[in-house]
Amino acid sequence: MRIANFYNSDLRNTGTARRVTEAMKRMEMPGFVRYSRPAGEIGKHDLHVFVDDGRDDIEWMPPRPNAGWFIDTHLGFERRVKWAKGFDWVFVAQREAVEQFAAEGVVAHWLPLACSPYLDPCYEELLKVMGREGNLVREYDCAFVGFMNEGAPGNPDSHNRVEFLDRMFQEFPNSWLATSRFFEQAAIRYVKARVGLNISIRHDLNMRFFEALSYGVCQVCNRDMEGWEELGFVDGEDFLGFDTTEEAIEQVRWALEHREEREAIAQRGWEKVRNGHTYEDRIKAALSIVESGQGMNLIEVDNATV
């Protein structure tokens, strides 16, 4: 199958679209090319793929036959369901969006986010990338790398990340906070910590869930993320979950006091995510649906711009 993948790396080159593209390259898919948007002259392809990169201001979609993977449905639902009506196959990263799209007449398939081993390296892989040893010891209690926000506007069930991290770092001052760090730079910060903190904006199963596991760090994350159980992850074995900030503090404290158990959890999570939850795995699952010819979104739109 000849596939064309569309995203503009000038706008954002650190999100899911980049990870999908890198995975497709490694899979050596025949005829695979990547186009920026808008693409201009486009060669003939069997499938044109668009991956949501978190921007709401792009009024463009690839030609048909096409497939769209929508990531931020929990933050910009109206825009994404409008986009989805112009795609033959629709995939959503958040499980709840399947029913939400169905209510709008759109057939969608749940395709969770994943890890990218080449972009989300663990300790041994970082040593190879960095070309030196001895500077990746676990010297911090906790680490968090990500965007700062105080929850999703208008959503009372969203999590205030700033408030949560402020409390956690008061309890564990020997910690490391960073923003705008990606790939190896993000991995270094987590690998040098005993615990990797994660809190999603709402109950979305976010990218950091898979990234932290891929780094090989013991992850402490909010338990109300939807979908981890269906994917086979086990609370207390692959990560440590919490329902409240107080429970998160207790989980971190336990992890710091139980080194062997903490590292065993990190190892199990690492093995599980690397052995079934990579972007290559997600691409194969999506193409299996496309190639079957089933599960199509049969809504027609008047033109190619939504």
Kindly state whether residues 146 and 283 are assigned to the same domain.
no
CA atoms 27, 227, 11, 104: torsion sign? positive
Q: What type of residue sits at position 47?
A: L
Is 300 within a domain? no
Q: Where are the alpha helices (DSSP H) in the chain?
A: 16-26, 77-84, 96-103, 123-130, 161-171, 184-191, 207-215, 245-257, 259-274, 279-292
Please check whether residues 236 and 147 belong to one and the same domain. Answer: yes
Give domain status of residue 304, yes or no. no
> Token pair of 70, please?
């929508």
d(CA 213, CA 241): 13
pLDDT, tens digit (0-9, with 9 covering 90-100), for 131-149: 665 578 999 999 999 988 8
Decide if 217 is inside a domain: yes
The secondary structure of the chain in percent helix, strand, coil, rounded to multiples of 5, reads 35, 15, 50
Residues 26 and 169 in one domain: no
Residue 298 lies inside a defined structural domain of this protein:
no
Mean pLDDT value across the chain: 89
Residues 11 and 62 in one domain: yes
Domain shared by 263 and 204, yes or no = yes
Residue at 303 is within a domain: no
Task: Give residue 45's domain range.
Answer: 3-112+279-292
Q: List the CATH number of the domain containing 219.
A: 3.40.50.2000
Same-domain check for residues 128 and 178:
yes
Task: Tell me: do 255 and 283 sit in the same domain.
Answer: no
Instruction: Output b/e per residue, 6-42; b: 16+ Cβ within 10 A.
Output: bbbeeeeebbbbbbbbbbbeeeebeebebbebebeee
Instruction: Name which residue leads in pLDDT, 123 or 57.
Output: 123
How much is the pLDDT for 153? 65
| Residue 297: predicted pLDDT | 79
pLDDT one-digit tens code per residue, 255-270: 999 999 999 999 999 9
3-class secondary-structure state, position 90 = strand
% pLDDT > 70, the chain = 91
CA-CA distance, 108 to 115, in Å (whole number)? 22
301: in domain: no
Strand order in the sheet with 218-222: 175-178, 140-145, 193-198, 218-222, 240-242
Supply the pTM of this predicted model.
Answer: 0.92
- The answer to whether residues 66 and 194 belong to one domain is no
In a domain, 302, yes or no: no
- Is 152 contained in some domain? yes
Structure tokens at 90: 């629709």
Measured between its terminal Cα atoms, the distance across the chain in Å is: 26
Claim to verify: residue 197 and residue 253 sit in the same structural domain? yes
Question: How many helices (H) does the chain have, and how many strands (E)?
Answer: 10, 11
User: Is the same domain home to 50 and 137?
Assistant: no
Could you tell me which of 59, 32, 25, 72 has the C-alpha nearest to residue 48? Answer: 32
Number of domains in the chain: 2
Q: Are residues 193 and 268 in the same domain?
A: yes
If asked whether residues 46 and 145 sit together in one domain, one would say no
Distance CA 138, CA 196 (A): 11
State whether the Cα torsion 69-71-72-74 is positive or negative: positive
